[in-house]
């Protein structure tokens, strides 16, 4: 594929469903669903839609993520205890290095764009 070709993000592909590893969980065991719409050839840039049932878990970002909440309500709390309540229409960035918790209060769906920098050579 020519890297300069426009790629339309139309219909959602078949979803992948999963549960988080037990060591991340704080409360609940939310079913999460992922519709990955685009992954670049370097495996560093991703676009898709994510949904989660209610629950709370630990997060530690190694990537940069841009999000738009489409439905539901979540609370993202940073390591200093600052809580951000997010709902439909909210746009936000979670930067690489962010540590805290994600609590889904009402089943949440978000559109995301992720950039994961390549690991430095050893």
Contact 70, 109 (CB under 8 A): yes
Q: What is the pLDDT of residues 74-85, one digit of tens each?
A: 999 999 999 999
Question: The domain containing residue 71 runs over which residues?
Answer: 17-55+64-115
Predicted TM-score of the model (pTM): 0.90
Residue 120 lies in a domain: no
Residue 111 in this model has a pLDDT that exceeds 70 = yes
Number of separate domains in the chain? 1
Q: What is the pLDDT of residues 2-52, one digit of tens each?
A: 567 888 887 888 999 999 999 999 999 999 999 999 999 999 999 999 999
Residue 5 lies in a domain: no
Buried b (16+ CB within 10 A) or exposed e, 76-100: bbeeeeeeeebeeeeeeebeeebeb
Q: What is the pLDDT of residues 50-72, one digit of tens each?
A: 999 999 999 999 999 999 999 99
Residue 4 lies in a domain: no
Contact 32, 50 (CB under 8 A): yes
For the chain, state the CA radius of gyration.
15
Residue 92 lies in a domain: yes
Find the CATH number of the domain harbouring 33. Answer: 2.60.120.10
């Amino acid at each position: 594929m020519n890297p300069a070709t426009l790629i339309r993000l139309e219909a959602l592909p078949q979803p992948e469903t999963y549960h988080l590893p037990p060591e991340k969980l704080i409360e609940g065991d939310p079913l999460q669903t992922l519709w990955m719409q685009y992954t670049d050839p370097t495996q560093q840039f991703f676009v898709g839609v994510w949904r989660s049932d209610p629950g709370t878990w630990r997060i530690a970002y190694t990537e940069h993520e841009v999000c738009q909440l489409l439905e539901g309500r979540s609370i993202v709390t940073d390591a200093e205890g600052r809580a951000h309540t997010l709902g439909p229409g909210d746009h936000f960035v979670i930067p690489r290095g962010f540590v805290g918790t994600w609590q889904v209060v009402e089943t949440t769906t978000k559109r995301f764009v992720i950039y994961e920098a390549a690991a430095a050579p050893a």
